[in-house]
Structure formats: C-alpha cells, structure tokens
C-alpha cells in the first residue's frame, strides 16, 4: 500500500514535469491556430448589431465579421472559427489564459488594459462614446439633470468607471444598479428598475432598436467619454498581433481602394493600382513578411466585404440600429478612420 | 515510540534494523512518501509561480491600495468611488455577511416552524408544508433568486409606490424606510438595553436555582423581557426622546432620505431563506422523529403538558441529531449567497469580480474569495461544534 503510494507520487511528479515543459515551450499563436485548424474568437454574449445569432442560429454581426475575416486571412476559410461568448467580466481572463486567440468584443482600448493587463490592441474598428438612454416621459433633457436617479450599468466595464467620474465631477447623486450582461440590463431598464441605462452609444442604439416602443425612449445628448473599440490579442506575440492588425487595416484600406466582396476576386488578378496589387498579392511580397499565404487579404475581404460593407450590413442606416458613419467614416469622408499604407 | 531509529536496547543504533524491523520500516516508508508529496507540492508551487511571473500575472496584493473609481449601491461603511479596492472588498464582504446572517436567522425560523408543522395531525397543514418543502428544495436556488427578483421588480413603479403610513414606501426599487437619527443621550438608551440583558440573565439564573432548591417557579422569561424592553424605554423618555426619524421624501426620480433596502437584497434573502428553510425543516423533522415515542409517553406519565414535553424532553434530545446537519445548511446558505451575482446584489463575489476586471489581478482576487469563504465556513462550523458539544447528552 505504502509502496503504491510512493510510486503514485513519483508518477505524479513526472506528469507535472511533463506538463511544465509543455507549458514553457509555448508556440506562436499563428502556428497554434494553423495546427488547430480553427480560430478561437471571443465575442459578446449577445449585442444586436455587434454579435447576435441569425435565424439559422449562426453568430453574426460587426464584431463577428472581423473574426471571420481574420479566419479567412489565416486559414483561408471564414467559417473555421470557434465562437466563445464572453461577458464584460470574463473576457480578459479568457484571453490571458489562451482560451481564445483574439478578442473582438466591443472592448475599449485604454492605457491600463494595454499596458498593465498585458494585451495588445491591434487597432480601432469603432469610435464610440458613452451615453445614456432614458424614457422621454422622465422629462429630463440632459444627463446632468439626473440627480437622484437609478442608473443601470454593466459591471466590469469602462462605462462603470466613467459613470462614477461623471456623477462625481458634476456633484450629483445616483443609485448604481450593477448588471452582468447587456441583455439583463435591458430587462432591468424595461422593468423600470432604473431610470436610465448607460453604455456605449452604439450599444444604446442597438438596445433601443429592440424596444417595441422605441420612440418612448431617448438617447441623451451627452457623450461622457471616448470609447475606441477594437480587437485585441495577448501581448508578447508580435507576429500574431501583426496578422490581426493588418487584417483590420486591409478591411479599412479595401474600402478606401474600392475593393469589395463582389469584385475582390477579379481585382486580385491584377490592376493598374499598385496599392491594390500589393494588398491582394499580385505584386510585392507582403504576405511572406506576414507569414501568410499570398491570397490572405483576398480571403479576408471575401469573408464579409470591406469595412464599409460590414458596417452598413450590421450597423448602418438601413439596419434597425440606424447608426450613421459619423466618426467612423474614412478620413477622406470626414471621419477619423485612417489605416496606414500597405507597403 | 520515543525514537524509532534507536533499537530496543536503547544505546546502539543499527542502520540495518531500519529495513528489517517492521515498525521502523513502516515509518521510513511513510517518511519517504511524505517527502515525495512535499516535493511534488513544492514543485507545483515553484512551477506555478515561475509561469505566473513569466506571464506577468500575480504581482501581489499591492493593488488593494489603488483607487477603485467605481460606485457601490449598498454600503454598510463609508465608501465612495475615491476609496481603495481594499475598502471596496470590505464593503462586499459586509454585504455577504449581512445577507447570510439575515438568511440564517429566517431560514432557521422557517425551518423549525415547517418541520414541526409537517408533523401536525392537521391534514391540510401537514400537506401544505409538504408541498412547500418539496417544491422549494427541488427547484435550483438560482432560479428561485431570479424568480423573487422578477417578482419584486414587478411591484408598482416609483410614482405609484405603496405607502405604509406615509413613512415607508414599497416599489420596484425596493423598500424605502425611515432612518433613525441618533441624538445626544441615545448612548444611554443603548447602555440601558445592555443593562437589561445582563439583569435578565442574572434573574433567570436566580430563578433556576430557586426552582431547583424550593420547586417554586418564577416567570423569568416574561420578567426578563420586561427588563430588556422596559429599562431602555424608561431611560428614553427620561432623556426626552433623543431619537429623530429621517422620513423618505419623494423626489423627481426616486425617494430621498431614509434608507433603501434594494430588491436585490430582499430577493436574495427570501430565496436563500425559503430554500434553506425547506432543508432545515426536513432536518428538524428527522430530529424530532428520532426521539422515541416512549419518551413522550414517559413525559406524559410524569404529568408534563404537551408543550412542556416538546420543550423539555423532545427538543433537547432532537437537537443532538439536528445540529450537525444544520451546520452544513448554514454553510451552504453562506456559500449560495454568492449567487447574488445573477441579480446584481453587490456581495464579495460581485465586487471582487469588478475589481478583478478593472485591475486584472485575477489570481489574487480568487485567492481572497477562497480565503474569505473558507474562514467564514470554518468559523461557522467551529461555533456550531462548540454549541453541539454544549447540548450533547451528558453521560454519567
């Protein structure tokens, strides 16, 4: 019996040693994704426009489209994605621990997340800001008139911190009502557990679009923060960060060059615009530098189209969300969306 | 057994005997196993620490002194968004304690009442209690918490609040009660309460002694109650009623003044009490049934009345069976309170989660959670074990 215990202990020690070596010999994320044959992408648990299920039960939306493009660029097939639904709270541990390869979940790029939490934001795909939604019947015209109100708020977000700052600076009292997910927050707001709900303005538009009586609710004029949203990866794997960053840039540049889902295959054969040629691989060797196959950008754009197509399909003025491009228009159209050149 | 490595002669040490002598061989082997286990643990710890350091995680507990920057809606101690993470954790800890303590008290009351009623000869009462027990203990407590929360948020809106004597208001944002404002002199009233309790204890000791010596009874329960309530009341009126009430006033969005009991707290409290109460009622029933019928008959034969029989004969013996499983139920209730997160009651887990997210110190926060729940559980069971020992049957 005792001898058995002893051998058991030694065997356990051996196992630990093996798993330890496996841990330390961690390969690059790009190789991991290729080896697994699928991209593990962290998305929202459900936010109209950004990540929601279509009538066939497939995940779709603005944030989802980015991961599909990335899977196209890396694996050549936008469907090879494993979706991991994450709340505001468990999204960061999921990325740190390697449960996901990339987080595309309307996440605000902040100093502490970039520097302290050990992530790399690969760019901004949506310039947002925090706002409030409330019932028009309240008679309040501005968020500064909310003295004494109950405010529904998603926990573990930057909005929670902005909210506290805003009310403290303006010296007004409020009752925070913390809620875990956007869906639950919407229900609490509908039940009038709170007077106003605060989150990113895009999220407010998305939430308002689901109300049967959308006109009885108004989005307050104040935008109380800058919320640049974008995909992020773990810090320390620069190759993977480059792949993620340039996939996003390719989508934005594609809009600028007029490359669309419909014409990308045609344009990939070669055009008289060297920038398009370099991006789509008929000229130069950008793909080799990135460690991807020559048609990476073609596959990325094929997935859901360029930035403009994705935006208009899920968020634009023709959707129930009805968000105008605004800040998110290309730099030459009066917005601040500006991707570095592909050269 | 003083030193197993010495042989029985006591003066000469022989290495060979370590393997030939059965007893010393056993000890050597056990030491070897212990050493191996210690090595494995040391290895795992060192490996984990090294990996964490490499990943840049787990940088210590320094973050507890950083500013929190978020607000909390239910706080038993002063807290603002300018306070530290550490203080936020304490606020969450106190909220956990509050709901657990409230839950334990009501679950015990519900449990004892239901347990006794289920044994009632009245068919309707016993069946109604059976239905309650079987329903609540077979539906997951998380669903019950959500059910109560949904029910409470379906109460009238703020502008149609149910008014209770124009002093307290009930709406879907909770219960707004008048808050006491203590003025100078109130400390003497509290002192009087304390004095009353001490006097009541002395009185009951004296009464018991007198009964043992002379057989005469004294209504020490009623007299004690009179002391505990009467003394402070007299002091309160002598000092000119040093207590004001801050009555809630309706404002534009909410009531102002007084204090608010959130629907989250009420929902969690109700769900935990009724859920755990169902289990406790079964424990109480089993305890009572474990006391043999002969005890009751013997008590009746001695001329004790039914309620005396229950109080003096049945319950003391039943308690010995009840206490150990009751302890587990208390522990369960405390741990189940962490389901608060589902409805946004800001307990230790909810606030810890926010801190985890804002600071990124996942392992430290999880470590704190485990340490707190472990110590709460150990404290509860230590107290219950002490109580169990006190009421245990004294064998002569």
User: Which domains, and CATH codes, for chain A?
Assistant: 29-127+229-333 (3.40.190.10), 130-225 (3.40.190.10)
Task: Give pLDDT tens digits for B69-128.
Answer: 899 988 899 999 899 999 999 999 999 999 999 999 999 999 999 998 998 889 999 999
Any CB–CB contact under 8 A between B263 and chain A?
yes
Report the gap between the CA of B123 and the closest CA in chain A (Å): 41
Q: Is the pLDDT of residue A313 over 90?
A: yes
**How many Å apart are CA B285 and CA B322, to the nearest integer?**
9
Compute how many other C-beta atoms are within 10 angstroms of the C-beta atom of residue B282: 18
Q: Which residues of B touch A6 (CB under 8 A)?
A: 29, 32-33, 36
Phi and psi, residue B299, nearest 5°:
-65, -40
CB contact under 8 A, B253 and A96: no
CB contact under 8 A, B55 and A118: yes
Q: Which two tokens stand for residue A182?
A: 């956007």
**Are B317 and B376 part of one and the same domain?**
yes
Report the gap between the CA of A41 and the closest CA in chain B (Å): 19
Mean pLDDT of A252-266: 95
The full DSSP string for A41-87 is EEEES-BTTTBEE-TTS-EESHHHHHHHHHHHHHHS-TT-EEEEEE-
Interface mutation vs chain B, best among A167, A186, A193, most B CBs within 10 Å? A193
Q: Is the pLDDT of residue A25 over 70?
A: no
Q: Which residues of A touch B60 (CB under 8 A)?
A: none
pLDDT on residue B14? 72
Counts for chain A of helices (H) and strands (E), in that order: 14, 14
Interface mutation vs chain A, best among B172, B250, B358, most A CBs within 10 Å? B358
* DSSP classification of residue B62: G
In a domain, B342, yes or no: yes
**How many Å apart are CA A339 and CA A248, to the nearest integer?**
9
> Which of A89, A148, A160 is opposite residue B252, by nearest beta carbon?
A148
Any CB–CB contact under 8 A between B321 and chain A?
no
pLDDT on residue B56? 59
Q: Which two tokens stand for residue A282?
A: 């008929």
In a domain, B73, yes or no: no
In a domain, B71, yes or no: no
In a domain, B216, yes or no: yes
Q: Is the pLDDT of residue A14 over 60?
A: no
**How many Å apart are CA A46 and CA A59, to the nearest integer?**
9
pLDDT on residue A3? 46
Any CB–CB contact under 8 A between B353 and chain A?
yes
CB contact under 8 A, A93 and B362: yes
pLDDT on residue B264? 93
Any CB–CB contact under 8 A between B65 and chain A?
no
> Which of B43, B71, B344 is opposite residue A164, by nearest beta carbon?
B71
Element spanning B148, H or E: helix B141-153
CB contact under 8 A, A156 and B71: no
Q: Which residues of A touch B30 (CB under 8 A)?
A: 2
**Are B40 and B120 part of one and the same domain?**
no
Task: Decide if B320 contacts B392 (C-beta within 8 A).
Answer: yes
CB contact under 8 A, B253 and A148: yes
pLDDT on residue A18? 41
Q: Which residues of A touch B362 (CB under 8 A)?
A: 92-93, 96
Any CB–CB contact under 8 A between B40 and chain A?
yes
**Are B313 and B210 part of one and the same domain?**
no
**Are B268 and B128 part of one and the same domain?**
yes
Q: Using the 3D structure, point to which of B56, B77, B102 is the last residue of a domain.
A: B56
User: Which has the minimum average pLDDT: A96-105, A304-313, B46-55, B308-317?
Assistant: B46-55
Report the gap between the CA of A325 and the closest CA in chain B (Å): 30
**Are B291 and B387 part of one and the same domain?**
yes
Secondary structure of B112-131 as H, E, C letters? HHHHHHHCCCCHHHHHHHHH
Q: Using the 3D structure, point to which of B201, B217, B245 is the last residue of a domain.
A: B245
**How many Å apart are CA B114 and CA A189, to the nearest integer?**
37
Mean pLDDT of A267-271: 92
Mean pLDDT of A13-19: 44
Which residue range is the domain that position B279 belongs to? 85-132+264-391
Domains in chain B, number = 3
CATH number at residue B334: 1.10.3720.10
**Are B120 and B183 part of one and the same domain?**
no
Tell me the pLDDT band of A23, cut-offs 50, 70 and 90: very low
pLDDT on residue B370? 94
Between residues 75 and 94 of chain B, which touch chain A (CB distance below 8 Å)?
80-82
**Are B50 and B98 part of one and the same domain?**
no
Report the gap between the CA of B47 and the closest CA in chain A (Å): 7
CB contact under 8 A, A180 and B36: no
Mean pLDDT of A100-106: 95
Residue with tokens 């209504």: B219
**Are B48 and B116 part of one and the same domain?**
no
Phi and psi, residue A102, nearest 5°:
-150, 145
> Which of B252, B263, B350 is opposite residue A178, by nearest beta carbon?
B350
Task: Decide if B283 contacts B137 (C-beta within 8 A).
Answer: no
> Cβ neighbours of residue A63 under 8 Å, at least 6 residues apart?
A43, A44, A47, A50, A51, A104, A105, A106, A231
Whole-number average pLDDT of chain A: 88
Which stretches in chain B have pLDDT values below 50?
1-2, 4, 6-7
* DSSP classification of residue A38: S
CB contact under 8 A, B344 and A180: yes
CA angle A199, A205, A209 (to 5 degrees): 125
pLDDT on residue B11? 54
List Cα–Cα distances, A179 to A129, A155, B173, B253, B343, in angstroms: 20, 6, 14, 20, 7
Any CB–CB contact under 8 A between B36 and chain A?
yes
> Which of A10, A93, A192 is opposite residue B172, by nearest beta carbon?
A192
Any CB–CB contact under 8 A between B251 and chain A?
yes
Report the gap between the CA of A152 and the closest CA in chain B (Å): 10
**Are B362 and B287 part of one and the same domain?**
yes
pTM exceeds 0.90, yes or no = no
**Are B193 and B294 part of one and the same domain?**
no
**Are B115 and B196 part of one and the same domain?**
no
In a domain, B295, yes or no: yes
Output the CA torsion A182→A184→A187→A189 (10° steps): -60
In a domain, B172, yes or no: no
In a domain, B160, yes or no: no
**How many Å apart are CA B95 and CA B371, to the nearest integer?**
17
**Are B126 and B269 part of one and the same domain?**
yes
Q: Is the pLDDT of residue A24 over 80?
A: no
In a domain, B283, yes or no: yes
Closest CA to A310 of A255, A273, A246: A255
The full DSSP string for B309-348 is IIIIIIHHHHHHHHHHHHHHHHHHHHHHGGGGGGTT---H
> What was the ipTM of the complex prediction?
0.72
């Amino acid at each position: 019996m005792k001898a058995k215990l002893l051998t058991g202990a030694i065997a356990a020690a051996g196992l630990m040693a093996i798993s330890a070596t496996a841990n330390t010999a961690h390969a690059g994320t790009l190789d991991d994704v290729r080896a697994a044959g699928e991209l593990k992408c962290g998305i929202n648990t459900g936010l109209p426009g950004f990540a929601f299920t279509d009538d066939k039960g497939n995940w779709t939306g603005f944030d989802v489209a980015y991961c599909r493009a990335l899977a196209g660029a890396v694996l050549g097939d936008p469907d090879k994605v494993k979706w991991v639904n994450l709340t505001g709270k468990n999204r960061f541990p999921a990325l740190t621990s390697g449960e996901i390869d990339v987080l595309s979940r309307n996440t605000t790029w902040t100093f502490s997340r970039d520097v302290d939490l050990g992530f790399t934001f690969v760019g901004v795909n949506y310039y947002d800001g925090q706002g409030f939604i409330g019932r028009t019947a309240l008679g309040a015209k501005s968020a500064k008139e909310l003295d004494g109100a109950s405010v529904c708020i998603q926990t573990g977000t930057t909005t929670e911190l902005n909210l506290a700052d805003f009310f403290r600076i303006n010296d007004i009292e409020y009752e925070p009502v913390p809620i875990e997910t956007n869906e639950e927050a919407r229900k609490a707001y509908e039940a009038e557990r709170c007077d106003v709900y605060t989150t990113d303005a895009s999220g407010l538009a998305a939430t308002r679009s689901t109300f049967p009586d959308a006109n009885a609710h108004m989005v307050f004029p104040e935008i109380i923060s800058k919320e640049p949203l974008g995909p992020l990866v773990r810090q320390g794997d620069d190759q993977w960060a480059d792949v993620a960053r340039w996939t996003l840039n390719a989508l934005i540049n594609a809009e600028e060059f007029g490359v669309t889902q419909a014409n990308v295959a045609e344009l990939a054969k070669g055009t008289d615009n060297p920038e398009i040629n370099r991006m789509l691989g008929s000229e130069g060797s950008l793909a080799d530098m990135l460690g991807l196959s020559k048609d990476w950008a073609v596959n990325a754009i094929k997935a859901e189209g360029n930035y403009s197509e994705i935006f208009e399909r899920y968020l634009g003025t023709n959707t129930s969300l009805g968000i105008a491009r605004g800040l998110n228009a290309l730099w030459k159209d009066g917005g601040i969306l500006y991707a570095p050149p592909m050269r | 057994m003083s030193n197993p490595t010495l042989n029985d002669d006591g003066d000469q040490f022989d290495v060979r005997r370590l393997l030939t002598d059965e007893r010393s061989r056993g000890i050597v082997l056990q030491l070897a196993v212990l050493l191996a286990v210690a090595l494995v643990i040391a290895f795992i710890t060192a490996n984990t620490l090294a990996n964490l350091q490499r990943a840049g995680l787990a940088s210590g507990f320094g973050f507890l002194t950083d500013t929190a920057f978020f607000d909390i809606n239910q706080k038993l101690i002063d807290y603002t968004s300018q306070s530290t993470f550490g203080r936020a954790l304490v606020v969450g800890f106190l909220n956990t304690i509050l709901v657990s303590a409230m839950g334990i008290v009501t679950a015990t009351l519900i449990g004892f009442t239901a347990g006794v009623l289920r044994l009632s000869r009245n068919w309707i009462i016993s069946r109604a209690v059976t239905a309650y027990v079987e329903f609540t203990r077979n539906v997951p407590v998380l669903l019950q918490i959500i059910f109560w929360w949904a029910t409470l948020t379906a109460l009238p809106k703020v502008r149609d609040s149910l008014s209770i004597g124009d002093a307290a208001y009930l709406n879907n944002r909770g219960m707004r009660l008048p808050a006491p404002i203590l003025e100078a002199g109130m400390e003497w009233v509290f002192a009087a309460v304390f004095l009353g309790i001490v006097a009541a204890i002395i009185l009951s000791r004296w009464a018991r002694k007198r009964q043992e010596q002379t057989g005469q009874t004294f209504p020490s329960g009623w007299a004690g109650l009179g002391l505990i309530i009467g003394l402070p009341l007299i002091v309160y009126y002598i000092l000119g009623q040093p207590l004001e009430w801050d009555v809630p006033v309706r404002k534009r969005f909410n009531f102002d003044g007084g204090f608010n009991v959130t629907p989250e707290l009420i929902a969690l409290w109700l769900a935990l009490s009724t859920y755990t109460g169902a289990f406790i009622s079964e424990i109480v029933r089993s305890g009572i049934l474990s006391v043999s019928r002969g005890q009751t008959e013997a008590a009746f034969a001695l001329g004790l009345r039914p309620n005396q029989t229950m109080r003096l004969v049945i319950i003391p013996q039943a308690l010995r069976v009840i206490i150990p499983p009751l302890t587990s139920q208390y522990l369960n209730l405390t741990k189940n309170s962490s389901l608060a997160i589902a409805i946004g009651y800001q307990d230790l887990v909810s606030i810890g989660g926010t801190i985890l997210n804002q600071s990124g110190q996942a392992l430290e926060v999880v470590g704190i959670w485990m340490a707190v729940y472990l110590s709460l559980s150990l404290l509860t069971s230590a107290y219950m074990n002490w109580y169990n020992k006190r009421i245990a049957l004294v064998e002569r």
